[in-house]
Amino acid sequence: MRLAGKVALITGAAAAIEGELMGFGGQAAHIFLREGAKVVLSDIRDELGERAVKILREAGKDARYIHLDVTQEDEWEAAISFVVAEFGKLDVLLNNAGVGHPMKVEDMPEEIWDRELDIHAKGVFLGTKHAIPAMRAAGGGSIVNTSSVMGIVGSPTTPAYSAAKGAIRIFTKSAAIQYASEGIRINSVHPGYADTPLTDGRFHDPDFRAEILRKTPIGRLGNAEDIANGMLYLASDESSFVTGSELVIDGGMTAI
């Protein structure tokens, strides 16, 4: 029970139904619950999220669902208030919501650039901003931000995504330095190529899949559990001396 007694809020977590392809947030919700946490799942896909939580609660898990558009500050305020009202505190925030729009720079509409930066970078900023007071009241906490290997190296297909994930990487380090003395740890996770609902369509193209497999020395793509296990480590007290770090889980891709 590595998260016994802890309360966690996870964004982008609606895809959390066993037997269906889960995202990083949905898989993390299952693992956090298994390890003793009380978990609030959030997303904008309310029907899916509510169905997932209904199944979890029927299985005896202490889970809740709340609508949260991570680009809206008032919704963050409401979400944090909901978590504290339901469970009395907030120990863990997993900033995981994300989108992806592969295209060339010259073909990219301004609104796509803004959408990527808003959901990823602004969403992480707002979540961190509003989680910190609740974590301070709880005596500390852990914020885990989902970045990407594409926030470390350039992407030939998703320049806005790379820019946004790179922003998360550096913001995480800056915020970690500011709040380390208060017992609030802030780290980023950098998944490599992994099968999730976000990548499902594109990664099933045989030629593209062969190409990214060639770039992954371990010889397979990742899955949501591979990434969520790393998130668990950063959420738990096992990583109590870890802050401002980037946990790369990529099958060796960035080692090449």
Question: Rg for the chain (alpha carbons), in Å?
Answer: 17
Q: What is the pLDDT of residues 33-50, one digit of tens each?
A: 999 999 999 999 999 999
Q: What is the pTM of this model?
A: 0.97
Residue 204 has pLDDT above 90, yes or no: no
Side chain identity at residue 154, one-letter code: G
* 200 or 84: which leads in pLDDT: 84
Give the C-alpha distances (Å, rounded to integers) separating 198 from 88, 194, 218.
33, 9, 22
Domains of the chain, start order: 7-249 (3.40.50.720)
Residue 205 has pLDDT above 90, yes or no: no
Residues counted in the chain:
256
Mean pLDDT of the region 102-129:
97
pLDDT of residue 203: 85
Residue 90 has pLDDT above 90, yes or no: yes
For the stretch 39-66, what's the b/e string if a residue is b when 16 or more beta carbons lie within 10 angstroms of its beta carbon?
A: bbbbbbeeebbbebbeebeeeebebbbb
pLDDT of residue 3: 98
Confidence of residue 88 (pLDDT cuts 50, 70, 90): very high
**Residues annotated as part of the active site:** 161
Cα–chain center distance at 70:
12
Eight-class DSSP state of 22: -
Give the C-alpha distances (Å, rounded to integers) separating 177 from 162, 184, 245.
23, 10, 11
Q: Tell me the C-alpha distance between 166 and 173, whole Å.
A: 11
Please give the span between the terminal C-alpha atoms of the chain, in angstroms, as a whole number. 36
Mean pLDDT of the region 114-143:
98
Q: Tell me the C-alpha distance between 240 and 242, whole Å.
A: 6
Q: Does residue 40 sit in helix, strand or coil? A: strand
Confidence of residue 197 (pLDDT cuts 50, 70, 90): confident
Q: What is the pLDDT of residues 218-229, one digit of tens each?
A: 999 999 999 999
CB-hemisphere CA count at 13 Å for 44?
12
Q: Residue 86 belongs to what H/E stretch?
A: helix 73-87
